[in-house]
Amino acid sequence: MPIVVQRPRLTIAEKCYFPAIMKGLRITLGHAIRILLRKKKVTMQYPEAKWDDHLPEHYRGAPALVTDEHDRERCVSCQLCEFICPPRAITIIPEEIPAGDEWQKVEKRPKIFDIDMIRCIYCGMCEEVCPEQAIFLRKDYAITGVSREEMVHDKKKLYEIGGRREGLVNKWNELK
Amino acid sequence: MVASKDSGENLVSVQVDDHWISVPRGTRMIEACKQAAAEVPHYCYHPKLTSPGNCRMCLVEMGMPPRPSPGEEPELDADGHAKINWMPRPVIACANTVVDGMGIRTQSLLAKECRQGVMEFLLINHPLDCPICDQAGECTLQEYSVEHGNGQSRFLESKVKKPKNVEIGPRIRLDDERCVLCSRCVRFSKEVVDDDVFGFVDRGSHSVLTVHPDRKLENNYSLNTVDICPVGALTSNDFRFKMRVWFMRETKSLCTGCARGCNTVVGSREGKIYRQSPRENNDVNSAWMCDTGRMEYHQLENPARLTEPMIKRGKKHRTVDWPEAICRAARDLTKFKGEQLAIIASGRMTNEELYLTRTLAESLQPGVVDIVKREGEGDDYLSHCDKNPNVNGARKVLKIRSPGSKLKSIRKRIVEDKIKALLVIGEDLIDCGFTEGELSSLQCLVSSHIIANPTAKMSHVVLPGAGYAEKRGSMINATGRLQRLNKAIDPPGQSREDWEILHELNRAVDGCDGVTELADVFTQMASTLSIFKGLSLSRIGDLGVDVMDTGETVPLLEREARRVSEGLIVG
Amino acid sequence: MNCSLASIEFSAVLIHVIKIVVLVFVVILPMVAYSVWAERKVSAIIQDRVGPNRVGIPFTKISLAGLGQPIADGVKFLLKEDLTPGHVNKLYFWLAPALTMVPAILTCAVLPFGSELFGEKMVVADLNVGPLFIFAIASLSVYGIVLAGWSSNSKYPFLGGIRSSSQMISYEISLGLSLVPVLLIFGELNLSTIVEEQSKNGWLLLPLWGEGAVWNGGWDRFFLFFPACIAFIVFTTSIFAETNRLPFDLPECETELVAGYHTEYSSMKFALFFLGEYAAMIIGSGLIVTLFLGGWSLPFGWDAGLMKMAGNPEQVPWWLGLMHIATFLGKVIAFIIFFIWVRWTLPRFRYDQLMKLGWIVFFELALLNIFITAGILILTRP
Ligand code: SF4
Ligand code: SF4
Ligand code: SF4
Ligand code: SF4
Ligand code: FES
């Protein structure tokens, strides 16, 4: 059922905007004056004071890869995150896990996994789409660098940020 | 609305999901549903193979008109058809044929529940492999479980473990846990390529697909099983883990491995080809292609690809820009007249390129024009013994009577110093028996290649061309069918599509020729050559048109036609 | 004076050059830079934030309330990587930013920013057709935006360019028409003379002294006050639209068009657009001040009084000249703050509302206003 929203009928005074504009100007002026008279507490002074300790669990900082309790890299390079990433920040080149490797049965892993942090918009789509629970947005938010290359997080860096996560669903265990 | 009584001799009326359609007698129920735009999900059924009916995915509800007792008039519904009595149990749509007055319900509760049940059984032991499975994205198991599945597993026990990652042939890997036991691969190998290597062993939920213990799946058509496998049980070693299917752009093109001209789909992403697979064309290659042809695209990745035009200075080649290279080539070639000049073209060139070579020859007036013959081994299926994909085009467009017959005399006349200049397009002459001594005695050697081969090394001017998936054009295959090549990726670096190179050469030699794009070349060709009359590049279409009668037939298609007439397959 | 002809010309040229250089590089450009600072600061206090408060004198801890910020911004703009996307039309892509900045600065040539200093008129070009010159030049700046939108060869800038051109063309009409009553009242097109007139006989919006005051018989100005107010409102609003400022900043409306016509620009080329917009705002304020609020003149006829105090009725003393310049700048700055205040108060119009306002309300109102003014003039100044 479509809901019909009746537009309110405006009086002439309302139609010519002026009273409303004046009202708006008055409100903003009020705020300005209150700040100028230091009657109100304002924002945090960033580099000295930080919110880091108060960041909620679901905070969306830099995306990173994680390993499981056996230090196995969880990512199997399915490339779904590469596909879903809106600004195409992720580049993955998969490879086959060679015979003799402890985790040979997983068959596939990323050879190259790059996230271009200049492109990343911290949307968290990659985390949401990952079928292996391998990529998470961590709490790091001040990602800086002096060159483009530096801003590309490679596999090593991603595992460094991500670290190990235990207690996630593990479908590669013995029972499967 | 066609009433059943008025229908023609060979048409029968069938009700599909409450709509009456008329289809030829003997049509499979699944095909009738398809015509009524009601797709029936299926695994084991493949129109080119026999129907064992073993997957049960295609279960539908069926009904028949009651057989009236003598003298009794059947009860009619509003459309004038006999009323249908629906049967309490479902039937498979793939192996049964329709009869007059039959009713099919693909969306009824019964049909839906059947599908849901079959899906649940199939998924009981299926691994959670999608993230590492190459089939993901084009897997019918994935698709059907989304459309018809439960969304939740009720299975609490341990899954059955089966062999994974087994090399069953040089090009193919088998994962038994993913196999849905549809037997398509078994039937393909047995019926189409007469190489009965597959079989099922063990029983119940332990039943697995395997190859004969002493044999391998190594026939030249083995990769077709990967295409028809509805799941990721059979995967190609070549494509394995290279690219996810959803990233690839698919370009309809042709295989240029031999004169058969199998229709293909080229999958590429960001300027790189990842795979090539057959495209159904019932006049050329049915739904198959050979493994050799599939791997053809690797030649485009050759590290020795030429990427820039070059001119020889002293002993060394120097890269130059296109105008300079073309200018130099035209200036050098026009210095030589008639008998002093020869052109060696290639049966791998498209009709358009051949035509531009012909116009070039008209202005340069060379003594000889020939192409290189490329004989190889053919087989009794698709692969043709003529490995030049467009010899018929060369015959018609370039007026070559007997390909390769003049090469000997060219060599002789080079030695006699009668031929002083040579234009070579797309061929390596050293490979065709010319010696380096002969080539170095030439005063002018202009050649176009895609790879830095010995001929390119000897050439005074080298013009880098495009590989078969990097250009557009048309070709005529062994049975006389005109088909279209399409461009999947860009040629690397500065190299260009060959028709552009020839077009520039033409212009440099002869001034303007009224051509701005490839389609213009075809139009000009259609106005000069009778076999192309009334055609244009776009009118060739995806499946091509027959333009000449060569009297040749395709052995594989003939056998397929026989099986169709025997009612074994749908075709 | 017995100088040679050549030297007279040379000194005149020199004086003009000095005026131009001082005006552009000492007044306008720093003002542009600091109006950006003001914008950030005002928006911050309106939104209960702090605003730029750190950058001060480099390598010290002295922050001067963030007054170093514009300089840091400028340095950043200069040092940023200058991208020219591969798919753009290079020539026009480069031309566009210049075409927005140059007209904005050119128009300040005719604005009288002070009375006289050492006998020299404080205006670069004392044209007899000041307002026309301004319209002629200001209308060129639309090319900058259209070219930017078109040459970027990308959808958002293109839409931004189209929006901006239709918006600027529409509002130019009401801008021009709303000015006609003012010119009728003064009977004059020279901006310097207009200001002098206001200095003597009361500002257009404050006719409280000289011949403009009612008690001195200025009944005409009393009746003309009403049309003058209409002209003021229409003119000011149209200036908002002309300078693409909120609530009329649809060409670069980020919710719909990313950044509008300058989406593909970066570094100094972007800065030129950015600064061009502020320069246009400053010139716009200057124009409003000149026409309606007496330009450099002091209120209540104090000019005449101070002149008398100085003694020499022919020569404006230097301190008064400086005071006039300061007055002008003070008025302009007040107006800029008003611009900023409006921006952080009002939401953006919808495009159809914007066009409707321009064509259906302001155009008619401005037209009507001309006739009202003309009627009053006929009746009160026979
Ligand atoms: S957070 Fe979003 S933008 Fe960043 S890598 Fe993940 S999907 Fe891409
Ligand atoms: S979605 Fe997860 S498993 Fe797949 S490639 Fe990305 S991180 Fe790896
Ligand atoms: S066969 Fe299909 S369902 Fe099974 S793992 Fe592969 S993609 Fe997934
Ligand atoms: S391997 Fe594939 S084609 Fe062969 S039986 Fe199994 S699912 Fe069917
Ligand atoms: S498709 Fe009919 S039983 Fe398999």
Distance (angstroms) between ligand 1 centre and the Cα of A92 equals 13
Chains that touch B (3 or more CB pairs under 8 A): A
Q: Which ligand is nearest to the CA of B186?
A: 4
Q: Tokens 């003012």 belong to which residue? A: C182
**Distance between the two ends of chain B, CA-based, in angstroms?**
28
- Residue C137 corresponds to which amino acid? I
CATH, domain B8-117, list 3.10.20.740, 3.40.50.300, 3.50.50.60, 1.10.630.10: 3.10.20.740
Of B126, B132, B133, B248, which to mutate for an interface test with A (greatest number of A Cβ within 10 Å)? B132
Q: How many residues are listed for chain C in this entry?
A: 382
Which among B521-525, C11-15, C131-135 has the top mean pLDDT?
B521-525
Q: How far is the CA of B253 from the centre of ligand 3 (A)?
A: 28
- pLDDT value at position B6? 45
Q: In what order do the strands lie in the sheet with B481-485?
A: B473-476, B481-485, B545-546
Query: pLDDT: is B285 or C279 the higher one?
Result: B285
pLDDT of residue B3: 42
Q: Identify the three-state secondary structure at position C82.
A: coil
pLDDT above 60: residue C2: no
Distance CA B389, CA A125 (A): 47
Mean pLDDT rounded to a whole number for chain B: 91
Tokens 């050293």, located at residue: B430
A-to-B residue pairs, Cβ atoms closer than 8 angstroms: 40
N-to-C CA span, chain A: 47
Q: How far is the CA of B45 from the centre of ligand 5 (A)?
A: 5
Show me where the domains of chain B are located.
8-117, 158-300, 310-546
CA distances from A17 to A11, B163, B547 (A): 10, 76, 75
| Chains with ≥3 CB–CB distances under 8 Å to C | A
Q: How far is A41 from chain C (nearest CA, A)?
A: 8
B194: left (phi over 0), alpha (psi -120 to 50) or beta: left
For B451-465, what is each residue's pLDDT tens digit? 999 999 989 999 999
CB within 8 Å of chain A, chain B residues 133-152: 136
Q: Are the C-beta atoms of residues C116 and C199 closer than 8 Å to each other?
A: no
Could you give the residue ranges of the DSSP H alpha helices within B156-202?
A: 184-187
Two tokens at B159?
A: 């899954």
- Of B43, B104, B106, B119, the one to substitute when testing ligand 5's pocket (max ligand atoms within 8 A of C-beta) is B43
Q: Is A27 in the C-facing interface, judged by CB distances under 8 Å? A: yes
Cβ atoms of C234 and C181 closer than 8 Å? no
Q: What percent of chain B has pLDDT over 90?
A: 73
pLDDT in tens, C100-139: 888 888 887 788 877 777 767 777 777 788 788 888 887 7
Q: Is B410 in the pocket of ligand 3 (CB under 6 A)?
A: no
For residue B121, the surrounding DSSP H or E stretch is helix B109-124
| Residue numbers in B near A78 (CB within 8 A) | 130-132, 136, 244
The pair phi, psi for residue A61, each rounded to 5°, is -100, -150
* CA A58–ligand 1 middle distance (angstroms): 15
**Ligand sitting nearest the alpha carbon of A130:** 2
A partners (3+ CB pairs within 8 A) are B, C
Whole-number Å distance, alpha carbon B529 to ligand 3 midpoint, is: 51
Is B188 near ligand 5, meaning CB less than 6 Å away? no
Residue numbers of B between 180 and 219 with CB closer than 8 Å to A? none
Contact B131 A131 (CB under 8 A): yes
Question: From CA A95, how far away is CA A77, in angstroms rounded?
Answer: 8
Atom of ligand 3 nearest to the CA of B140: 2
**C186 CB-side CA count, 13 A:** 29
pLDDT of B522 over the 80 cut = yes
Question: Taking a C-beta distance cutoff of 8 angstroms, is the pair B503, B513 a contact?
Answer: yes
CB atoms within 10 A of CB B44: 25
Mean pLDDT of C138-164: 83
pLDDT band for position B81 (cuts 50, 70, 90): confident
Ligand 2 centre from A125 Cα, in Å?
Answer: 11
Between CA B520 and CA B529 the distance in angstroms is 14
For C301, list phi and psi in degrees, rounded to 5: 65, 20
List CB contacts (< 8 A) between B165 and chain A: 107
Q: Which of C79, C346, C357 to mutate to test the interface with A (most CBs of A within 10 A)?
A: C346
Edge-first strand listing for the sheet containing B341-345: B316-319, B310-313, B461-464, B444-449, B421-425, B341-345, B368-371
* Residue C255 predicted with pLDDT over 80: no
- Residues of chain C in Cβ contact (below 8 Å) with chain A: 42, 44-50, 341-342, 344-346
What is the interface pTM, i.e. ipTM, of the complex? 0.83
Flag whether C touches B (3+ CB pairs, 8 A cutoff): no
A85 lines ligand 2 (CB under 6 A): no
Contacts C50 to A, Cβ<8 Å: 42-43, 45
Could you tell me the maximum CA-CA distance found in chain C, to the nearest angstrom?
Answer: 69
Do A and C touch (≥3 CB pairs < 8 Å)?
yes
- Residue C87 — pLDDT band, cuts 50, 70, 90? confident
Residue given tokens 């030249």 in the structure block: B220
Q: Mean pLDDT, consecutive 10-residue segments, chain A of 176 residues?
A: 84 79 88 82 79 86 92 92 95 93 91 94 94 91 89 93 86 67
Q: Do B159 and A94 touch (CB under 8 A)?
A: no
Total H helices, total E strands in chain C: 15, 2
pLDDT tens column, B3-34: 444 445 689 999 999 999 999 998 999 999 99
- Contact yes or no for B131 and A78 at CB 8 A: yes
* Residue contact A83–B246, C-beta within 8 A: yes
- pLDDT, tens digit (0-9, with 9 covering 90-100), for C208-246: 777 766 666 667 777 778 888 888 888 888 888 888 777
pLDDT by residue (tens digit) across C328-354? 888 888 988 888 888 888 888 888 888
Q: CA B487, CA B352: separation in Å to the nearest integer? A: 14
Q: By the CB < 8 Å criterion, does B249 face chain A?
A: no
Q: Best of A35, A45, A121, A146 to disrupt the C interface by mutation (most C CBs within 10 Å)?
A: A35
How far is it, in rounded angstroms, from Cα B485 to Cα B251?
Answer: 9
Does the pLDDT of residue B91 top 70, yes or no?
Answer: yes
Fold type of domain B158-300: Alpha-Beta Plaits (3.30.70)
Establish if A24 touches chain C: CB-CB under 8 angstroms: yes
Q: Per the confidence metrics, is the pTM higher than 0.95? A: no
Asked if B244 and A171 come within 8 Å (Cβ–Cβ), the reply is no
Adjacent-strand bridge partners of B198: B211
Structure tokens at B369: 């024009």
Is the pLDDT at B421 greater than 80? The verdict is: yes
Give me B102's structure tokens. Answer: 């039959």
Q: Is the CB of B126 under 6 A from ligand 3?
A: yes
pLDDT for C79 beyond 80:
yes
| Digit-coded pLDDT (tens) for B194-253 | 999 999 999 988 999 999 999 999 999 999 999 999 999 999 999 999 999 999 999 999
Cβ of B59 below 6 Å from ligand 5: no
Q: Name the closest residue on chain C to residue A42, using Cα atoms.
A: C49
Mention every residue, 6+ apart, whose C-beta is less than 8 A from residue A5.
none
Lowest mean pLDDT among A41-50, B494-503, C34-43: A41-50
Q: What is the pLDDT of residues C173-220, one digit of tens each?
A: 888 888 888 888 888 788 888 887 777 777 777 777 777 666 666 677
Per residue in B110-159, pLDDT tens? 999 999 999 999 999 999 899 999 999 999 999 999 999 888 889 888 88
* pLDDT tens-digit readout, C287-325: 888 888 887 877 777 777 777 777 776 777 777 788 888
Interface test with C, best of A28, A38, A43, A146 (most C CBs within 10 A): A28
Give the pLDDT band (50/70/90) at residue C3: very low
**Fold of the domain built from segment(s) B310-546:** Rossmann fold (3.40.50)
Q: How far is the CA of B179 from the centre of ligand 3 (A)?
A: 9
Which ligand has the nearest atom to the CA of B42?
Answer: 5
Q: Which ligand is nearest to the CA of A90?
A: 1
Indicate yes or no: CB of A32 within 8 angstroms of CB of C49.
Answer: no
Q: Is residue B48 within 6 Å of ligand 4 at its C-beta?
A: no
- What average pLDDT does range B421-437 have in this prediction? 89
